[in-house]
Amino acid sequence: MDARHAPVTRLAEAVPGLTASYSDRRMRTLDRLIERAREFGDRYVRPRALEIDRQVELDPGHFDWDIVRAGTGYGLLGLPVPREAGGQGTLALEVSLSMEELCAACPGVANIFGAHGLGIAPLAVLGGTSHWEGVLREITDAERQGRPLLMAAAITEPDAGTDVEDPDLMRMGHITTHARRVRGGYRLSGTKRFISNGNVARWISVFMPTDPRRPAETASAFLVDTRSDGFAVARVEHKMGQRACPAAELNFDDVFVPEELLIGREGDGLAGTMMMLALSRGPVGAIATGIARGAYERLLAWLRSDGDADGLLERQEVQLALATMHEEIHLARQAYIDAATAFETAGIGRALGHPAARVAGLVPPAIRRRPQVRRWTSSATARELFAALLRHSTSERQATRSLALSSLAKARGADVAVRVTGLALEVAGLGAGPVRAELEKLWRDAKLTQIYEGTNQLNRLCVYRGLSLGDTTPEVLPRARNGRSRRFMNRARP
């Protein structure tokens, strides 16, 4: 039996608890989404996964645009884009479920779409309506024409990896990038490292402080056009796994960013990072779950079909190993679904469904595109209003808890991915034939999930603070500044 022909499990069977929370209609929609992602994975990704992995090993600069182009037919680039900008407007749950499917096929290819979503995330959680008719519309228009336009997010620096993902460490960290305020905008300087999609993205959400001596207080997010003067790809890394998705080092040499491409308010960068992580760590748990599932499905299919595996499936040790894998995958999936649900219903996601945001969505695109409207949506007042809306839709405690649940799903899922892929490899052994290379690739791919989006150790410290102690992290939401916007939001409170 080929792994591609594993029985299709409905979401209600895989996660029975979801049926209590969601309507039949929503469950059917989610099932369709999963089927589409699985179809893309089976048709375009699985057959080429090993080949792409080998090509990139020989040449880290190789990038398979064909497979990304094929993804446009499945709406994968518009998946996290708000509906108002022509996208599908999905948040953590849909993105997570899609990522699990894609990762069961190839985590490297999946991560191209994941990193793209990460680039969009700051626009969604900090940007309000201001980028709907800018880059977000550009993405969805291009996708409809079958032209992939990729995004990326640039946070990590050569001397600051963990530092830039934790408020306390960031205050003491060695941040060397700098966004200098100039007339009409900012000038960005410094180096960003390990940026997924960094060398293939058209636009990048970049985080830099306006005062490097106070990085936590002045970190800000900017939308950078990679065609700007002063932007350069310094190198593409030679990775152990997830090779289909490149990681690049990026140099910013006085890159000009106009004022309107500041994402959110100046100084909201740390909150943007925290909210982005609350949104994205759950999907990383899904990525890890998909990797584990990919290994489990391949192993089971091989044990059932390959002559060389004859007899292994009769061994209780092997049966127990398979059962353990199934258990681990089931629990990892539960964890990321909890994280996604918390983000959408009790966390930051609520702000995006706030009546004030919905009202903005009722304005026809043709009007939103008018220069005076675009000027207003990127004005300081509009930014203040969106920050206030975020604060009023959720609380620091809820947002902290959402971040902690996402971190839990990420850390747990990543450990499961490394364990399950390793177990699959051990059951099969070196003499297993073609499936061995696939399992080895998944094992190499799995290790990255313990590292990116914050190391598992950092994520567990988030779990400790947010769940064990029940502490609140004030930096997880934009700070309140403007009394008028606060009063406005109080009146608009649902």
Mode of pairing for the β-strands spanning 231-236 and 247-258: antiparallel
Q: 8 or 234, CB closer to other proteins?
A: 234
Q: How far is the CB of 340 from other proteins (least distance, A)?
A: 25
Q: For residue 95, what is the DSSP state?
A: H
Nearest to 76 by CA among 136, 29, 36, 121: 36
Q: If DSSP codes are grouped into helix, strand and coil, which group holds residue 221?
A: strand
Q: How far is the CB of 136 from other proteins (least distance, A)?
A: 28
Q: Phi/psi at 206 (nearest 5 deg)?
A: -115, 135
Q: 24 or 314, CB closer to other proteins?
A: 314
Q: How far is the CB of 234 from other proteins (least distance, A)?
A: 13
Q: How far is the CB of 412 from other proteins (least distance, A)?
A: 15
Q: Based on the number of CB atoms within 10 Å of its own CB, is 291 exposed (0-12), middle (13-18) or buried (19 or more)? A: buried
CB 88 within 8 A of CB 117: no
Q: 9 or 457, CB closer to other proteins?
A: 457
- The Cα–Cα gap between 123 and 358 comes to 16
Q: Which two tokens stand for residue 359?
A: 């009202």
Q: How far is the CB of 273 from other proteins (least distance, A)?
A: 16
Sign of CA dihedral 222, 223, 226, 228: negative
Phi-psi region of 264 (alpha: psi -120 to 50; beta: other; left: phi over 0): left
Q: 229 or 308, CB closer to other proteins?
A: 308
Q: How far is the CB of 419 from other proteins (least distance, A)?
A: 10
Q: 13 or 51, CB closer to other proteins?
A: 51
Nearest to 212 by CA among 164, 260, 257: 164
Q: 194 or 203, CB closer to other proteins?
A: 194
List contacts with other proteins (CB under 8 A). Answer: 50, 54, 156, 159-163, 166, 168-169, 172-174, 193-194, 237-241, 247, 308-312, 315, 317, 321, 418, 422, 425-433, 436-437, 440-441, 443-444, 447-448, 450-452, 455-458, 460-461
Sign of CA dihedral 442, 249, 115, 348: positive
Q: 434 or 470, CB closer to other proteins?
A: 434
DSSP secondary structure letters along 367-402: HHTSHHHHHHHTSHHHHHHHHHHHHHHS-HHHHHHH
**CA-angle at 77, arms to 72 and 83, nearest 5°:** 115
Q: 60 or 82, CB closer to other proteins?
A: 60
CB atoms within 10 A of CB 319: 13
- The Cα–Cα gap between 49 and 244 comes to 8
Q: How far is the CB of 217 from other proteins (least distance, A)?
A: 16
Q: 397 or 419, CB closer to other proteins?
A: 419
Q: How far is the CB of 321 from other proteins (least distance, A)?
A: 8
Q: How far is the CB of 429 from other proteins (least distance, A)?
A: 5
What's the N-to-C CA distance of the chain in angstroms? 53
Q: How far is the CB of 170 from other proteins (least distance, A)?
A: 8
Q: How far is the CB of 452 from other proteins (least distance, A)?
A: 7
Q: 322 or 352, CB closer to other proteins?
A: 322
DSSP secondary structure letters along 282-337: HHHHHHHHHHHHHHHHHHHHHHHH-GGGTTGGGSHHHHHHHHHHHHHHHHHHHHHH
Integer angstrom CA distances of residue 440 from 95, 152, 292, 295, 304: 26, 27, 12, 9, 19
Q: 169 or 480, CB closer to other proteins?
A: 169
Q: 26 or 171, CB closer to other proteins?
A: 171
- Sheet containing strand 203-209, edge to edge, reads 151-154, 203-209, 219-225, 262-263
Contacts of 358 (CB under 8 A, 6+ apart): none
Q: How far is the CB of 231 from other proteins (least distance, A)?
A: 21
Element (H, E) at 223: strand 219-225
